[in-house]
Structure 1
Amino acid sequence: MVMIRVRSRDGVERLTIDNPNITIAELKTLIELQLHVPLSNQTISLQQNLLLAKTPADRSRFSDMANPDIQLSSLGIGHGSLIYLSYDGEREIVSAARRPSITPAGSFGKKMTMDDLIAKQMRVTRQEAPHSQLVSFDRDAANAFQSYVNETLAFAVKRGGFMYGTVSEDGKVEVDFIYEPPQMGEEEKLLLMRDSEEEKLVDAIATGLGMRKVGFIFTQAIGQDKKDYTMSYLEVAQAVELHAESGLKEWVTALVKLKVNDDGVADVHFEAFQMSDMCVRLFKEDWFDFERGKEGEEVDAKVSRMKKDVVVGGKDVREVDNDFFLVVVSIFDHQGPLSSTFPIENRNFPVTTKAVKTHLERTKSLPFVKRISDFHLLLTLARFLDINADIPALTQCVHSQTAVPEGYQLLIESIANAGV
């Protein structure tokens, strides 16, 4: 038995653990159980100055115990060690005598394992509110994405892309362009063949435009319309992986599908969600069992399977309805700063420099900065530019809508004429 001292604004309290080799994630679960501080509200550190931090931004600088997978012993934490805890709000201070026992009811003298303890704390409930106040789509960008799926692919297979834009301080997400990476879509599966070099160019362009990656958008095939789910377990798996990768709490997952209206006509329908905090936590801590459907196994696509029991509605279960992981986000639209008329990358036909020439000729009545204010055009040009000098300079002109230096105009025109 090991005793850890936990100092917070309430003073020093003692935490009892069985094994000094537990991870930080397991330690935080014990803090939630024994000290009544919700896991999502905890910041812990070995640095005393944590207690002086007043805001979430201040606390985020204390990252020495941020990795949930690190074992306490690797940080030199053992019997009698002192760690610091910061949290917002109020809590009930529970004396050591009144703290819940870690012996399960009906098994006197039998201690729970760490897995048992964590499973009892892993309660899956619906998250009432998203971190995003709303998501607003640039009309042209959203239309360019859905029209291709509707008119060219006929919603027969899945298609996906990354949404880029801005996030306001109050959680409003604005999507100003959609990047479609190389991919292979089937009726129920979508494989994103991500090109790291191309994504570096995309991120460099976005940074220069004052934007960042804010979400994932994908379509459901028309064959999925008869399935009894909002998102399949495969879609949940892909969506939560990308959400977790982003590190952005306001990250939005958008779903596009055909939906029959009251007149019997199929309309293109957009829905937006956030994967719940619990869903992201379960993914990061490797609770999901995504290895399903092998050797003819019957699979219920509307549920996600866990590797261990979780508590849903007071019951221990290993299958959770996918809807428990979805938090609805309101959808709006706007007219963003970019056009979406240039051919889009990674579709049926490669985009060449000839398309640049055609685009420039078609828009020659506009100021030059307006003519190049299209993400997909900028991505084509970026393949011929220096990522550290040219792309920031050019995107800054587009971002501020200021005149493009003559040297860059000549360079772009030469790129346009190169393939003629």
Structure 2
Amino acid sequence: VGPTHQPTPARIGERARAESPVAGPSCCPTRAHTDAPLYIHHRRRQVAKQNPTQSNRCDSFPQKEKKKKRKASAAAAMILRIRSRDGTDRITVPDAAAATVGDLQRLIEARATVPVAAQRLSLDPALLLPAPQPPLLADPAAPLASLPLANGSFVYLSYPPGARSAQPPPPRALTAAGSFGKKMTMDDLIARQIRVTRQEAPFCSAASFDRDSANAFQLHVSESLAFAVKRAGFLYGRVDAETKEVLVDFIYEPPQQGSSDVVHLMRDADEEARVDAIADGLGMRRVGFVFTQAVGRKASETGEYTLSNSEVVQAAQLQAEGGIPEWVTAVVKLEVGEDGSADVHFEAFQMSEVCVKLFKDGVLETEIQDSDDPRLSKMRKEVIAGGKDTMEVDNDFFLVPVKISDHQGPLSMGFPIENRGIPLPANALRSHMDRAKHLPFVKRISDFHLLLQIAAFLDVKADVPTLAACVGHQAEVPEGYRLLIDALAGQT
């Protein structure tokens, strides 16, 4: 992303907003939603069009008729990758030039054991997201040759829960030590009972982001980091007890070091204690984790992927630590359109219960090697996924999509944000207070990042929650706190 391009706006949750039942003030009696969009700045990127695939051939040497026929037969076959919420299947279409959508459906039924009547096919990956449904391949008589398909193309498959009737392989015979066959230990027997299945519904109904906080986060990534390295933060807000909607009101960015594939959190226990004390005073708590994906992240030789294996491990670890069933993981990424333009997108997920349990039980491999396929998560023990024993699971098995929207939260976003590699200006507090001097004192300090700066000079167990509670209720700030803040700002 070059520095000379001008940012243009994109909306948050464009894929999910149309179906979101939480748009509007009636969905949450404790919070007022707004229909105003969250505008996210992004930069335009031009992507060079790929040249058409050229077949390797040599016409300089005469070929026997038998070899020509064999080559023609091989060229007529086409391998398609069928991506569903249960993973990816590779299906070979023997005579692609003459095959139809109906032929492909029958091949899918034979290979993936999904009945033709339950299949919904599309060339658009949005089929697998909680968004308005894309165009479907609904005509069984339509020839595959009329579709933009090539060898290795993805076709997306959706079907109702329970429609797939994959049968596990027959059990292996148990043999005594020294005899032919594999000796089964008790660990092997226990591992064979671990079944990795899709979780169809999340525990939270939706995730709504304060638009100023979300915009400040992605703007730093696009303007300062150019999506070249990963960036992360913890989400703080509340969970509506009735609707189970997660409302994110501010983002705390801990000290961290990011690369194109991994972001290492260098967590500061004292600073996090102050953050939690502020959240407690505001009537909030930690509700999730957000991270960005770099444009140069590691590619997979077996297909596209939503989250990498290292991202799955990190998300599962933090969700296990979070301690609430509604915990949300948000992903911010740059997506390139067909015209070469690039848009910033927010997407929200929960890691499935099975994924978190595999992490807690030590089955999910946490040591990622450079040679590992980022699309697959390795297991330390054999598990059953998709009806077969395996040591690797497609990461999509662990993702539960969450609808996403935005709102205007109660806090402002004018104070410099912590831990971004730039020292806080010495006059930052004074400048902020001077800019907002026309506002009531409690409004002037209604900024999480300002409160975090002040909290370093207060008692974390008594003073920090008390001051934050004044902000949360927009109540009069006691004189002692006013004098301290004015002194810190150099206004006394």
Identity of aligned residues (%): 60
User: Is the aligned partner of 1:156 residue 2:232?
Assistant: no
Q: Aligned equivalents of 1:365 and 1:262: distance in 2?
A: 48
1:109, CA displacement in angstroms?
9.2
- Partner of 1:22 in structure 2? none
Residues 161-217 of structure 1 show CA distances to partners (whole Å, capped at 9, x for unaligned) of 000000112321000000000000001111000000000000000000000000010
1:349, CA displacement in angstroms?
1.1
| 2:343 aligned to which of 267, 288, 296 | 267
- Partner of 1:166 in structure 2? 238
Inter-CA distance 397–406: structure 2 relative to 1 (3 Å threshold): same
User: Is the aligned partner of 1:405 residue 2:478?
Assistant: yes
1:144, CA displacement in angstroms?
0.5
Q: Aligned equivalents of 2:408 and 2:259: distance in 1?
A: 32
| 1:127 aligned to which of 199, 204, 214 | 199
1:314, CA displacement in angstroms?
1.3
1:331, CA displacement in angstroms?
0.3
Asked whether the 8 Å contact 1:353–1:415 carries over to 2, the reply is no
- Partner of 1:284 in structure 2? 360
Residues 330-376 of structure 1 show CA distances to partners (whole Å, capped at 9, x for unaligned) of 00100011111110000131224511100001111111111100000
| 1:313 aligned to which of 386, 390, 400 | 386
- Partner of 2:450 in structure 1? 377
Q: Aligned equivalents of 2:424 and 2:211: distance in 1?
A: 23
For this pair of structures, how many residues does the alignment match?
Answer: 314
Q: Aligned equivalents of 2:368 and 2:436: distance in 1?
A: 51
User: Is the aligned partner of 1:336 residue 2:415?
Assistant: no
| 2:327 aligned to which of 236, 251, 257 | 251
Asked whether the 8 Å contact 2:299–2:374 carries over to 1, the reply is no
2:232 is matched by which residue type in structure 1? G
| 2:395 aligned to which of 302, 322, 338 | 322
Secondary structure at the aligned position of 1:254 is classed as strand
Secondary structure at the aligned position of 1:397 is classed as helix
Inter-CA distance 213–377: structure 2 relative to 1 (3 Å threshold): same
1:125, CA displacement in angstroms?
1.2
Alignment of 1:52-63 (within 5 A): none
User: Is the aligned partner of 1:114 residue 2:205?
Assistant: no
Asked whether the 8 Å contact 1:124–1:278 carries over to 2, the reply is yes
Q: Aligned equivalents of 2:365 and 2:464: distance in 1?
A: 42
1:407, CA displacement in angstroms?
2.2
Larger Cα Rg: Structure 1 or Structure 2?
A: 2
1:350 is matched by which residue type in structure 2? P
- Partner of 1:87 in structure 2? none
Q: Aligned equivalents of 2:337 and 2:404: distance in 1?
A: 18
Residues 90-141 of structure 1 show CA distances to partners (whole Å, capped at 9, x for unaligned) of xxxxxxxxxxxxxx66448999643233222211111100111100000000
Q: Aligned equivalents of 1:185 and 1:266: distance in 2?
A: 22
Residue segments in structure 2 that go unaligned for 5+ positions in a row:
1-170, 178-182
- Partner of 1:235 in structure 2? 311
User: Is the aligned partner of 1:365 residue 2:438?
Assistant: yes
1:409, CA displacement in angstroms?
1.3
Q: Aligned equivalents of 1:248 and 1:218: distance in 2?
A: 19
User: Is the aligned partner of 1:137 residue 2:209?
Assistant: yes
Secondary structure at the aligned position of 2:442 is classed as helix
Between stretches 144-153 and 163-172, larger displacement belongs to 163-172
1:259 is matched by which residue type in structure 2? E
Asked whether the 8 Å contact 1:140–1:340 carries over to 2, the reply is yes
Inter-CA distance 314–130: structure 2 relative to 1 (3 Å threshold): same
Asked whether the 8 Å contact 2:254–2:419 carries over to 1, the reply is yes
Q: Aligned equivalents of 1:411 and 1:106: distance in 2?
A: 75
**If each structure's helix is expressed as a fraction of its own residues, which one has the higher value?**
1
Q: TM-score scaled to structure 1, two decimals?
A: 0.71
Q: TM-score scaled to structure 2, two decimals?
A: 0.61
Residue segments in structure 1 that go unaligned for 5+ positions in a row:
1-103
1:362 is matched by which residue type in structure 2? R
User: Greater relative contact order: 1 or 2 (C-alpha under 8 angstroms, separation 6 or more)?
Assistant: 2
